[in-house]
Amino acid sequence: KNSPHQLNYLTRGSWEVTKLVGFDEETQRVFFMSPQNDPRRMHMYSVSTHGNDLKCETCNFHEKCQYTQVTMATTGDFYVLECLGPGIPVYSLMTKDGIEVERLENNSAFAEKIAKKALPWIKYEQISLLNGEKLWAKMLLPPVLKVEEILTYPLVLHVYGGPGTQMVTEKYAIDWHTYMTSSREVIYAFVDGRGSSGRGDKFLHSIYKNLGTLEVDDSLKAA
């Protein structure tokens, strides 16, 4: 803020900021969480108070760490990085420069057990609407499925289009859907229709005063 009557925007683009994480007074950088251009993911970014030099602070930590949460010290010197997917969650203490100081939890015992299980394949698809919008869909495929085989499987479409919800992410999960796909050999699918979060205010509020219409149409289109 340069004057009582002027505000400077630090970020620009067709993506949203979901959370302010912290501020480093020494470097004059603001840290925040954002999915940027891929709503399936969540990373911490930083930008200078001059509104330039945008940088992703967590994008290159690990290929299996694409959906993150961050808790930063009030000084901005350290933060706890929660790698929540697509790999098994791990937690690390990091410096503001992105150096891992200590691995707080790597869930090695869980990883060893789960490695012996037949888990679903995960596949993401984009579905085009007539208005040009694209929706993200996620499918859990049975571990016995072979692409080269001509077989059919029952499809269960998880339908929920509440405003601000988001089901298609790269966050790691072992749940009822995992069981159904692995043990009952069904394909379990999710779709984030209009009104879901992670795509900006215009997409989120597209169902304003239209609940039960657009999001239903999107689910039918996905099916």
Q: Is 1's pLDDT higher than 70?
A: no
Domain with 91, as residue range(s), is: 19-110
Q: What is the model's pLDDT at position 146?
A: 76
Which residue, of 54, 79, 110, is where some domain finishes? 110
Select the more confidently predicted residue: 132 or 19: 19
- Which residues is 61 bridged to in the sheet? none
Which residue, of 110, 135, 154, is where some domain finishes? 110
pLDDT bucket at 43, cuts 50 / 70 / 90: very high
Q: In CATH, what number is assigned to the domain containing residue 140? A: 3.40.50.1820
Please give the model's pTM, rounded to 2 decimal places. Answer: 0.86
Quick one: 128 and 98 in the same domain?
no
Segment (H or E) for 140: strand 134-141
Q: What is the model's pLDDT at position 16?
A: 87
Quick one: 105 and 29 in the same domain?
yes
Which residue, of 87, 110, 133, is where some domain finishes? 110
Q: What is the model's pLDDT at position 44?
A: 97
pLDDT digits (tens, 9 = 90+) for 185-220: 899 999 887 767 777 777 766 777 777 677 777 677
Quick one: 98 and 28 in the same domain?
yes
Does a structural domain hold residue 7?
Answer: no
SS3 139: strand
Q: What is the model's pLDDT at position 4?
A: 63
Quick one: 34 and 99 in the same domain?
yes
The domain total for the chain is: 2
